[in-house]
Chains A and B, each alone.
Chain A
């Protein structure tokens, strides 16, 4: 394992590197890979971007956790000034406003905080008030700066929460444990990455989802490479896809009872076993080398 410390940094090694670990499908090993890559680095920031179902804390068990409430602006009405003209409710693209008689009803959970209604009100009856959207949690786990977020139940949009997480990014190495799927949360997460590591299972479902997430990453113009997870003997449709589409394969993590068990218990394999510490250290170096071969933004 190479002894890499900041003082040995040469001019081609990026000082700041943000790697998004994604898979398209859930359960392929995104969190497993993310927490282990963060754990073997000398120093890293781990961000759990799956704000709907965060799991990173189960593994990294952060201490000295500091919580910060993230707010978002929502309209509030002064009913005495409102004359029920409906200019705001008709303009709202999200149906977050309704007028009954002269009473304006505001539906905060549907509101996207765009600010339009307030700008249109001829009576200046609407003002913007900061309301809680969720919390961002920051803590430590060994040499890892740990960041995760949780959305208030019922809120419609988690994108501002991911943006709030990214504002806490430090210099150096950052690992983004991405949400599953290819929707707006993944898009927001990937937009902050320098490089994407796609984790793929050797199943029909897994390869299908690899295609999907590969297309998303290409659409967003991000360099990427593949890690084959849970590999066994026999044909691997994900490997086949990677090879035929010029996707670089950085490594293969065979299905292993010990690893599966450690993970099911919420343990970070690289902290429990020298074998896995070595494996993930090598993988981290591979990822750094792979991202290095792309021009820096």
Chain B
């Protein structure tokens, strides 16, 4: 399955806005929200006919059987994650527990076992021949990389023969981003003209290159700082990265998104710019796939 991933490095640059517009413009039959920490794509994709939810489990966590615990303190002594709560019988804090099982091995009463802990929900939405894969992570959990891989796998397993899937990526550079980059044909980076976003853009481009994923860049809200927008463009030119366009700051965008409307159906400066960028992205993607 061919995939175009929309990334940003820094959050809030307009990734989901661009991704949702691309999905509508391309009539994509398969798309996913890889930002499992703070999924937003479903808010602008309208309603679906069916929703399938499945539990997602992370590493099993330790649990103490209070009836066997003698409060000998051995587990507390060995736990390096501050997950053991002393008391008349000891308890494990499932949020802090990393599932290493040291306590399980050390307990003289064999009072500790592990149990699977649900750390999120995988969701699959379908309507007509469209397939939307997403997930939410439970608070405080850290297994985001694998859940992103599951979101992508769910999409591959359930989507009909689709030409290209559009993935709304996660912000940052951590393992969820690495997982979302896996096997992707093209990563489109949505930057904004600020020193923070420029710094983050460079970091995420480095990650993409390490995984040998081709990248392209656009600048959103470029008129908020045309100087820095220009610097980003020059950087791309020097690095041989396709610069596919600039999107102006557009108040109407917020109002439309708040109503759950897709920019593809709007007639505003930002939506025009995104449409042009979409055409260019397709061209770059086709060139990549041919190679």
Listed in ascending order, the chain A residues whose CB lies under 8 Å from chain B are: 24-28, 31, 52-53, 55, 58, 91, 93-94, 112-116, 119-120, 156-157, 180-187, 201-205, 208-209, 212, 215-216, 219-220, 232, 234-235, 237, 257, 260-261, 263-266
Given the contacts A93-B100, A112-B98, A115-B78, A25 and B196 also touching, CB distance less than 8 Å: no
A53 to B204, CA, bound (A): 10
Please state if B12 and A25 are interface contacts (CB–CB under 8 Å).
yes
Chain A hits for B43, CB < 8 A: 204-205, 208
CB distance from A173 to the nearest CB of B (A): 24
Given the contacts A204-B43, A205-B257, A266 and B175 also touching, CB distance less than 8 Å: no
Grouping DSSP codes into helix (H, G, I), strand (E, B) and loop, the A interface class, with mixed when no group exceeds half, is loop
Contact of B102 among A114, A186, A232 (CB under 8 A): A114
Please state if A204 and B37 are interface contacts (CB–CB under 8 Å).
no
Closest residue of chain B to A120 (Cβ to Cβ) is B105
Given the contacts A115-B78, A115-B102, A119-B105, A265 and B37 also touching, CB distance less than 8 Å: no
Closest residue of chain A to B196 (Cβ to Cβ) is A55
CB distance from A10 to the nearest CB of B (A): 35
Q: How many residues does chain B have at the interface if contact means C-beta atoms less than 8 Å apart?
A: 51
Please state if B141 and A58 are interface contacts (CB–CB under 8 Å).
no
Listed in ascending order, the chain B residues whose CB lies under 8 Å from chain A are: 9-13, 16, 37-38, 40, 43-44, 59, 78, 80-81, 95, 98-102, 105-106, 137, 139-142, 144, 171-175, 192-196, 199-200, 203, 224-225, 228, 251, 254-255, 257-258, 260
Contact of B37 among A58, A182, A237 (CB under 8 A): A182
In the A-B complex, the 10 residue pairs with the smallest Cβ-Cβ separation, listed nearest first, are: A27-B12, A26-B11, A114-B100, A184-B142, A181-B37, A264-B194, A266-B195, A187-B140, A264-B225, A116-B102
Given the contacts A93-B100, A266-B196, A119 and B78 also touching, CB distance less than 8 Å: yes
Given the contacts A187-B139, A203-B258, A156 and B175 also touching, CB distance less than 8 Å: yes
Please state if B101 and A184 are interface contacts (CB–CB under 8 Å).
no
Closest residue of chain A to B14 (Cβ to Cβ) is A27
Contact of B224 among A119, A204, A219, A260 (CB under 8 A): A260
A205 to B13, CA, bound (A): 12
Please state if A180 and B199 are interface contacts (CB–CB under 8 Å).
no
Please state if B142 and A53 are interface contacts (CB–CB under 8 Å).
no
